[in-house]
């Protein structure tokens, strides 16, 4: 095969690969084994109790193909507010991928921001100034753009790790 035929064949292969439609990541994954609540983050610098929101889940591959190179960016927000209240970035899988019908390892995401107070953690959850938190879960596959996978409520319950 001559060099020019090899180049034409290579260009054809690259064009076919480049023309593949991008994966609809949100439609390809399901959030399963969801658990959320508030975790004791210890004492702050002033000796007050601190609690932070935490969400745990697995991502199940709903496609017929292995899904690799997945990343998650979680943005915590207090209800009624647009400003982020902490973020968490996690690499879900790399080259090893998630086989069809299988689920990822358990992912646990928490915010660095939370509530502080002199009272106990359970009293903090019932305080009149307590505002519930939601977590926007963004997913990215390979070099695709970030896409909103789901918005999850953080339950008003105290969790023990």
The tens digit of pLDDT for each residue in 33-69 reads: 999 999 999 999 999 999 999 999 999 999 999 999 9
Task: Please list the alpha-helical segments (H only) found in the chain.
Answer: 3-18, 25-28, 121-125
Strands 70-78 and 133-141: antiparallel
- Homologous superfamily (CATH) for 23-159: Immunoglobulins (2.60.40.10)
Question: pLDDT category, 160, cuts 50, 70, 90?
Answer: confident
Domain definitions of the chain by residue range: 23-159
* pTM exceeds 0.75, yes or no: yes
- What is d(CA 90, CA 137) in angstroms, rounded to the nearest whole number? 11
3-state secondary structure of 27: helix
- What is d(CA 87, CA 76) in angstroms, rounded to the nearest whole number? 6
């Amino acid at each position: 095969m001559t060099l020019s035929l090899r180049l034409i064949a290579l260009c054809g292969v690259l064009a076919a690969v480049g023309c593949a439609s991008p994966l609809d990541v949100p439609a390809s994954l399901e959030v399963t084994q969801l658990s959320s609540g508030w975790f004791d983050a210890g004492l702050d610098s002033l000796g007050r109790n601190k609690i932070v929101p935490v969400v745990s889940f697995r991502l199940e591959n709903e496609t017929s193909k292995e899904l690799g190179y997945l990343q998650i960016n979680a943005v915590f927000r207090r209800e009624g507010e647009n400003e982020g209240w902490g973020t968490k970035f996690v690499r879900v899988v790399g080259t090893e991928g998630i086989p069809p019908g299988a689920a990822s390892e358990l992912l646990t995401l928490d915010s660095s921001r939370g509530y502080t107070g002199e009272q106990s953690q359970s009293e903090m959850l019932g305080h009149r100034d307590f505002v519930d938190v939601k977590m926007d879960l963004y997913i990215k596959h390979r070099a695709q753009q970030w896409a909103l996978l789901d918005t999850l409520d953080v339950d008003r319950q105290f969790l023990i790790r």
